[in-house]
Amino acid sequence: MNGSESGFNPAFNIATIKQVVNEAIERVRMPTPTRLRDLIRQIRAARTAAEERSVVNKECAYIRSTFREEDSVWRCRNIAKLLYIHMLGYPAHFGQLECLKLIASPRFTDKRVGYLGAMLLLDERQDVHLLITNCLKNDLNSNTQFVVGLALCTLGAIASPEMARDLASEVERLIKSPNAYIKKKAALCAFRIIRRVPDLMEMFLPATRSLLTEKNHGVLITGVTLITEMCENSPDTLNHFKKIVPNLVRILKNLILAGYSPEHDVSGVSDPFLQVKILRLLRILGKNDAEASEAMNDILAQVATNTETSKNVGNTILYETVLSIMDIKSESSLRVLAINILGRFLLNNDKNIRYVALNTLLRTVYVDTSAVQRHRTTILECLKDPDVSIRRRAMELSFALVNSSNMVAMMRELLQFLERSEAEFKTACSSAIVLAAERHAPTDKCHLDTLFQVFLKAGNYLRDDTVSSTIQLISAASAERQAYAAMRLWTALERAAVNADATDKQPLVQVAAWTIGEYGDLLVSEASNAISMVDDEGVDDFTRPSEEYVIDIYQKLLWNTQLSITSKEYLLLSLAKLSTRFTTQPSQDKIRGIIDTFGSHIHIELQQRGVELSQLYRNYAHLRPALLERMPPMEAPASAAEESPAASPHHEPAAASPEQDALLDLIIGSDSLTNGDVEHKPAPTNNNTTNDILDLLSGLELNMSPPLSATSLVNNNAPAPTLVGDLLTDTAPQKPTLTVSALEANGVSVTLGVHKLTADCVQLTMRAAYCGHAALSDFLFQCAVPRTFQLDMMSPSGTVLAPQTEITQVLKITNPSRSPLRLRIRVSYNMDGAPVLEQAEVNNFPADLFN
Amino acid sequence: MMQFMLLFSRQGKLRLQKWYVAHPDKLKKKITRELITTVLARKPKMCSFLEWKDVKVVYKRYASLYFCCAMEQEDNELLTLELIHRYVELLDKYFGSVCELDIIFNFEKAYFILDELVLGGELQETSKKNVLKAIAAQDLLQEDETVDAALREVGLL
């Protein structure tokens, strides 16, 4: 309105009157738009989606038309309505430019709605950014703190890299503003700018440090947030800020010691938000820094013991404290305290607290396994929780806790879990069980039993390679175990065939078919009576089948239309093998009859197999017994787990499957048996296996190795150790290049086998041996490296060191700076009930280790 | 850092959305839809955390309204619950025992309050009093302008 310059004037001048009249006329011609409130009512009153759509479309059309007018008085109201429509999911991009017009208006109401619209309707990829950058620049210089606040808030939400560059200097100036309201917002804006464009960090450094000297909590918390981001951004800045540790400790101390302050109190805790932010920054500053850690030990202990835990807010702070204690180089007593807090969390009724406890234990389990072991029962209990989030965490944690001493009990729980868990868990869980069994099973019987249970319970969710690795295991076992396997698998196979659920357990069918094919004679012979089939529950459910019954079951399965082709291939081959294992004439005839029917099978692969096998009854009958002889024991393909008790649990043996397919080729002594999706070249010679290994390896890491020849691979164990080692991450089938003696005391000797992985990465295998008389318990090996190194410790093979045994643990050290390797090691254990602690420094590694 | 915050009703209707990461509109809608379905499908006794895609979703129901925050992996889940609670307290103080309808009809106010509590996905103010003071002062500024405009209209200014 132009009449404003006249101020209050009782004598209306002509111009003013004219304008008022004009506007009145204008308003009559163009009716007042619906109010926001009325529009919301109208939309809510709509009964159907179509009705709602029509209301919205009508309003949108109206809003568009008003946007076309240059100087609408209702722009603000229209944008507000548009924002509501946008929230309902309708397109509202046509309001973007109008938002900018509102922002440019001198009225605060317009700016407030305009900036809100800008945050909702624009995002980083809009072209209008150049326009908004100018608006923001103006408003960042405004005299009204709230206008500056709106601009900062918008910049924080939608800053694109270009905007960040253009406005960084303005923000830096505002951080230095004496006004706390502006200061805190500017600090968070700087945080966002650095996130977007890390290069811009330098310019904020000088202004940042003084933020911590403020009294205002808003400024403090935003300052801590900004510093945290800077420290995570670059190691140099991290070092630069090490000196603020005492300041942070002081702020935290004041918070917990100060009396009740109503302004920042949350159920009896003084400003938990600020406390948590400071604890997190302390964690970053104290990580791998003994001096800084030392400076914060006391305050962490104080927070951990003084925080009230009846409410969520207290637990929030404890949770953050535990994370910090575990991450920095804290005193051992403090670590015990932290683990105990987590133990209490695990028993808490609140599910949220239980969830964070499991989560945190999972993060610490590789640092301190024995401490976490104490809570094993509680963790296993969490496997039964109805909540997926908790169950997933509990499962991961349980697997991290499995070792050879608790394997049987843990497996029982985990197998139960596998059985009742949802499909999404089954694959991961079964793979983990297979791996754990491979690594920790005390006896091979126990190992086999666990595998059979997995086959039953995971069904088709099992990973393919488990079939081949199990077959390998059985083939390498003793004759008695082989008979045992055949009997167990027979029981399972028979049950699956009778209950007609074999299609859900195809991996089981495949393994059972292979095993029965190989050792069918042991299954049906009298000798099987000598083998105990009593299982853990004391039940013996095995009845020795007759030859004909076995063949009947095979027939039933082979004629099952639902069974996969792969399973049928296993079965058919197995049946052919049985023809040389079974002796009676009727069963021979029956087998021959079934095989002959496959000569006209609709599937080409099975048909070919049927024809080939039936030839063994006709023209080539003399070859049959020799061709179908029992397989020689297979060697473990780059035996993954046996050699590395400490391999990480996330790691799966990957090399097994193709070789097994090759072995299958050998069984039949002919070409191209498709198994799953792997096609093999026809080369029915003994080299087939090795060729396949060669193929497998050549795809992976050939650039690392000297040229491989097929002959060098015939002996499976010797060649290309680095290859296999790299392939399987943790294993080194090769002997370490050298062994360094690290510690020798009280009959305990600790040696480190050094094995170089890459130019700047070595793997150390710690072997602790003991030649005393009574076993040592709670054996714990700890190791520290200088700061330029990175150390990865796998979990140890055990914690009890019996005489004449060994504990092994794999360490991986990365040394980007290639400086000479030095280690400080600490070994603790209980000898005759008394704790013993030994320390040593190891620096007798060869100087050229990293060259 | 918070990636986004959603408020939605038990019927799955979106009541407020605040994004601190840049996504195209289409993706935002997809995320919103999927997340609402996932959260509503969870039983009341389950924990408030959900590992969902690459974010950690922290949610809590207050009466008929779900408050749902997507956080980054290293953020403190329990603190996020406190943050949600703080926001609810502020709405409650501002509207006087807030209900879903208040937020529907005054959604812009709900945004203004959130913008005084959180900036760029991080908490900016830990004092309830300060947040409410800032909001009241800005509301007053708006009112002054309205009175001012009305006075001008009748020519008294």
Instruction: Show residues of chain B in contact with A1, CB under 8 Å.
Output: 152-153
In a mutational test of the B interface, the residue from A183, A276, A281 whose CB has the highest number of chain B CBs within 10 Å is A276
Cα separation, A279 vs A324, whole angstroms:
7
Contact between chains at B127 and A116 (C-beta distance less than 8 A):
no
* Distance in angstroms (rounded) separating the CA atoms of residues A429 and A425: 6
Q: Residue A44 contacts by C-beta under 8 Å, 6 or more apart in sequence?
A: B104
Residue of chain A nearest B156, judged by CA positions: A8
Of A313, A233, A224, the closest CA to residue A270 belongs to: A313
Tell me which residue in B14, B126, B129 faces A87 most closely, judged by beta carbons. Answer: B14
CA angle in degrees (0–180, nearest 5) for A721-A725-A731: 120
Nearest CA in chain B to A150: B115
Q: How many angstroms separate the CA atoms of A553 and A238, rounded?
A: 69
For B133, the closest chain A residue by CA position comes to: A181
CA distance A292 to A473: 52
Instruction: Tell me which DSSP letter residue B3 carries.
Output: E
* CB atoms B126 and A217 under 8 Å: yes
Amino acid at A267: S
Phi, psi of A815 (to 5 degrees): -135, 80
| Residues contacting residue B112 through CB under 8 Å, at least 6 positions apart | A112, A116, B135, B138
H or E stretch covering A704: none
How many whole angstroms separate alpha carbon A740 and alpha carbon A748? 15
Contacts A119 to B, Cβ<8 Å: 18, 115
Contacts of A160 (CB under 8 A, 6+ apart): A124, A125, A129, A196, B22
- When the pLDDT of each residue in chain B is averaged and rounded to a whole number, the result is 93
A295 to chain B, closest Cα gap in Å: 24
**Helices A49-68, A36-45: crossing angle, 10 deg rounding:** 150
Determine, for residues B155 and A40 on separate chains, whether the beta-carbon distance falls below 8 Å: no
Residue-level pLDDT at A729: 37
> What pLDDT is stored for residue A362 in this prediction?
86
The Cα A196–Cα A32 span in angstroms is 44
* Cα separations in angstroms, A638 against A350, A696, A757: 46, 12, 17
Domains of chain B listed by start with CATH number:
1-152 (3.30.450.60)
Chain B residues closer than 8 Å to A264 by CB: 126-127
User: d(Cα A816, Cα A790) in Å, to the nearest integer?
Assistant: 8
Model pLDDT, residue A638: 56
Contact A351 B108 (CB under 8 A): no
- Which of B1, B25, B155 has its CB closest to that of A20? B155
Chain B residue with Cα closest to A228 = B1
Say whether B152 and A3 touch across the interface (CB within 8 A): yes
Q: What Å distances lie between residue A727 and A259, A716, A724, CA to CA?
A: 59, 15, 5
Cβ <8 Å between B126 and A185 = no
Who among B49, B86, B153 is closest to A389 (CB)? B49
Report the SS3 class of residue A578. helix
Cα A256 from Cα B44, distance rounded (Å): 34
Instruction: Please enumerate in sequence order all residues whose Cβ is within 8 A of that of A194, keeping only pairs 6 or more positions apart, or say none.
Output: A200, A201, A204, A226, A229, A230, A233
Look at residue A702 in the predicted model and tell me its pLDDT.
36
Query: What is the C-alpha separation between A472 and A665, in angstroms, rounded?
Result: 15
Distance separating the N- and C-terminal Cα atoms of chain B: 48
Chain B residue with Cα closest to A352: B47
pLDDT at A712 (0 to 100): 36
Please give the radius of gyration of chain A, using alpha carbons only, rounded to the nearest integer.
37
Number of CB pairs < 8 Å for A and B?
178
Q: Which residues of chain B have pLDDT under 50?
A: none
Residues of chain A with pLDDT under 70: 1-13, 21, 23-32, 70-72, 123-126, 536, 637-737, 851
Contacts of A111 in chain B (CB under 8 A): none
B49-88 burial, b at 16+ Cβ within 10 Å, e below that, comes to bbeeeebbbbbbebeebbbbbbbeeebbbbbbbbbbbbbb
**Start-to-end CA span in chain A (Å):** 80
Contacts of A535 (CB under 8 A, 6+ apart): A449, A541
Would you say A416 and A384 are in contact if contact means Cβ atoms under 8 Å apart?
Answer: no
Q: What CA–CA distances, in Å, run from A570 to A477, A566, A575, B126?
A: 20, 6, 9, 67
- Cross-chain Cβ contact A266/B25 below 8 Å: no
Q: What is the ipTM of this complex?
A: 0.97
Q: Which residues pair with B59 in a beta bridge?
A: B68
Q: What are phi and psi of A153, to 5 degrees?
A: -60, -45
Give the model's pLDDT for residue A224.
96
Question: Is A218 within 8 Å of B141 when comparing Cβ atoms?
Answer: no
Of A80, A192, A313, the CB nearest to B120: A192
Which residues on B lie below 8 Å from A188 (Cβ)?
119-120, 122, 124
Which chain B residue shows the shortest CA-CA distance from A321? B76
CB contact under 8 A, B122 and A390: no
Of A3, A112, A222, the CB nearest to B124: A222
Q: Across the interface, do B122 and A191 touch by the CB < 8 Å criterion? A: yes
Question: Considering only CA atoms, which of A711, A713, A681, A685 is closest in space to residue A697?
Answer: A713
- The answer to whether B156 contacts A8, with C-beta atoms less than 8 Å apart, is yes
Q: Which of A93, A112, A226 to mutate to test the interface with B (most CBs of B within 10 A)?
A: A112
Tell me, rounded to whole angstroms, the distance of Cα B13 from its chain centroid: 14
Residue B68's pLDDT is what? 97
H or E stretch including B15? strand B14-19
A407's tokens: 């394997």
Query: How close, in Å, is residue A65 to chain B by CA atoms?
Result: 23
Closest-CA distance, A272 to chain B, in angstroms, reads: 8
In this complex, the residue of A3, A181, A192 whose CB is nearest that of residue B134 is A181
When scoring A175, A352, A360, A384 by the number of chain B Cβ atoms within 10 A, the one with the most, hence best to mutate, is A352
Separation CA A4–CA A16 (nearest Å): 9
Q: Give the integer Cα–Cα distance in Å for A28 and A30.
A: 6
Of A1, A263, A280, the CB nearest to B127: A263
Instruction: Give residue A26's pLDDT.
Output: 60
A823-831 vs A738-745, strand pairing mode: unpaired
- Between CA A301 and CA A69 the distance in angstroms is 66
Cα separation, A496 vs A456, whole angstroms: 9
Residue A708 near residue A694 (C-beta atoms within 8 A): yes
Contacts of B34 (CB under 8 A, 6+ apart): none
The burial of A813, by beta-carbon neighbours within 10 Å (0-12 exposed, 13-18 middle, 19 or more buried), is given as buried
Q: Which residues contact residue A9 at a Cβ distance below 8 angstroms, ignoring those fewer than 6 apart?
A: A16, B155
> Whole-model pTM?
0.69
Judging contacts by C-beta atoms under 8 Å, the chain A residues touching residue B128 are 263
Is B50 close to A389, i.e. CB distance below 8 A? Answer: yes
Minimum-distance CB partner of A355 among B49, B108, B129:
B49
> Which of B105, B129, B145 has its CB closest to that of A40?
B105
Question: Do the chains contact at B120 and A184, CB–CB below 8 Å?
Answer: no
DSSP per-residue string spanning A28-87? HHSPPPPPHHHHHHHHHH--SHHHHHHHHHHHHHHHHHHHHSTT-TTHHHHHHHHHHHHH
Of A618, A599, A624, A617, nearest to A609 (Cα)?
A599
* CA gap B17, A533 in Å, rounded: 63
**Nearest-CA distance A37 → chain B (Å):** 6
Q: Does the beta-carbon distance from B120 to A20 stay under 8 Å?
A: no
The residue among A839, A820, A699 whose CA lies nearest residue A762 is A820
Q: How far is Cα A171 from Cα A238, in angstroms, rounded to an integer?
A: 22
User: Tell me, what's the pLDDT at A198?
Assistant: 94
Query: Which is nearest to A515 in space by CA: A466, A575, A471?
Result: A471
What are the two backbone dihedrals, phi and then psi, of residue A214, each rounded to the nearest 5 degrees? Answer: -75, 160
Query: Across the interface, do B108 and A83 touch by the CB < 8 Å criterion?
Result: yes
Question: How many Cα atoms are found within 13 Å in the side-chain-facing hemisphere of B57?
Answer: 24
Cα dihedral B128, B134, B135, B138, rounded to 10, equals 170
